[in-house]
């Protein structure tokens, strides 16, 4: 950043993330590729194996995992605050004859989820919890996921963690949030994982890597009590 351009304040950076995602997705129509992620594939087969059907996907992005979940025969509600990418998912689902099992919803997860209690059997989220969300906002979101899942329902989410090579790099916004290249990432520690598991049985935490960076992630599986 040049001396004439002061860095935006942290609040403005966080507030600008939605527009940043919309613009980035518009410029990169297949930003994460078209194939389901490893995390998405494994969640889809786990949900199908357990006979779960109604799945809420938080932070669906351009839908690579949405199609993995639909392909496993599941009924998917794909939520994101980037409306343009959701429109792309709807169009593609229509072409593939899968629109009947897909609902899309433009929504910011910092607001309560607009669903009735116990409306879903499962929740899946690849890298949404690791976005520009403060710990208190994440705890509120986990509470909302708990509310909309039926008792016994499964939540599988992935996050970058404090062992990631980018942890500590870029602009420190506090609360383990760092800005790099315009994107704000919340790097999880184990304390935060445990905090979000309140009201759930924490079944599993698996470390894995994705992409060329590579991103170092945790896949967290928890069951609603």
Q: Is 126 in the site for ligand SAM (CB under 6 A)?
A: yes
Nearer to ligand SAM, 82 or 149 (CB): 82
Q: Is 97 left (phi over 0), alpha (psi -120 to 50) or beta?
A: left
Q: Which residues contact 178 (CB under 8 A, 6 or more apart)?
A: 166, 167, 168, 169, 170, 171, 172, 184, 185, 187
The only residue of 61, 68, 88, 153 in contact with ligand SAM, by rule CB under 6 A? 61
Q: Which stretch binds ligand SAM (CB under 6 A): 77-85, 142-150, 192-200, 211-219?
A: 77-85
The only residue of 13, 14, 21, 148 in contact with ligand SAM, by rule CB under 6 A? 21
Q: Which stretch binds ligand SAM (CB under 6 A): 106-114, 174-182, 191-199, 213-221?
A: 106-114
In whole angstroms, give the CA distance from residue 193 to residue 12. 27
Q: Is 136 in the site for ligand SAM (CB under 6 A)?
A: no
Q: Which stretch binds ligand SAM (CB under 6 A): 42-50, 115-123, 126-134, 192-200?
A: 126-134
The only residue of 113, 131, 156, 159 in contact with ligand SAM, by rule CB under 6 A? 131
Q: Which stretch binds ligand SAM (CB under 6 A): 69-77, 78-86, 146-154, 189-197?
A: 78-86
Q: What is the SS3 assignment for 6?
A: coil
The pattern of x and - marking residues 28 through 57 that bind ligand SAM according to CB under 6 A reads ----x----x--------------------
Q: Which residues contact 81 (CB under 8 A, 6 or more apart)?
A: 18, 21, 106, 107, 108, 109
The residue of the chain with the least Cβ separation from ligand SAM equals 61
Nearer to ligand SAM, 59 or 88 (CB): 59
Q: Is 222 in the site for ligand SAM (CB under 6 A)?
A: no
Q: Is the peptide bond before 154 cis (omega within 30 degrees of 0)?
A: no
- Written in H, E and C, the secondary structure of 53-101 is CEEEEECCCCCHHHHHHHHCCCEEEEEECCHHHHHHHHHHHHHCCCHHH
In whole angstroms, give the CA distance from residue 88 to residue 63. 8
Binding site for ligand SAM (CB under 6 A): 21, 32, 37, 59-61, 64-65, 80-82, 108-110, 126-128, 131
């Amino acid at each position: 950043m040049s001396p004439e351009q002061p860095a935006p304040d942290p609040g403005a950076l966080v507030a600008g993330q939605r527009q940043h995602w919309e613009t980035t997705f518009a410029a990169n129509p297949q930003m994460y590729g078209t194939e389901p992620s490893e995390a998405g594939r494994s969640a889809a087969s786990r949900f199908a194996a357990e006979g779960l059907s109604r799945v809420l996907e938080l932070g669906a992005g351009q839908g690579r995992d949405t199609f993995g979940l639909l392909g496993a025969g599941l009924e998917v509600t794909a939520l994101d605050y980037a409306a343009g990418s959701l429109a792309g998912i709807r169009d593609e689902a229509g072409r593939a004859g899968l629109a009947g099992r897909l609902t899309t919803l433009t929504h910011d997860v910092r607001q309560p989820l607009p669903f009735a209690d116990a409306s879903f059997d499962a929740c899946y989220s690849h890298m949404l919890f690791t976005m520009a969300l403060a710990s208190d906002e994440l705890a509120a979101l986990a509470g909302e996921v708990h509310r909309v899942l039926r008792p016994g329902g499964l939540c599988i989410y992935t996050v970058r963690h404090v062992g990631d090579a980018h942890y500590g790099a870029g602009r420190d916004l506090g609360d383990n949030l760092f800005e790099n290249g315009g994107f704000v990432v919340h790097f999880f520690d184990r304390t935060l994982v445990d905090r979000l598991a309140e009201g759930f049985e924490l079944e599993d935490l698996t470390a894995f890597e994705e992409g060329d960076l590579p991103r170092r992630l945790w896949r967290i599986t928890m069951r609603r009590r």
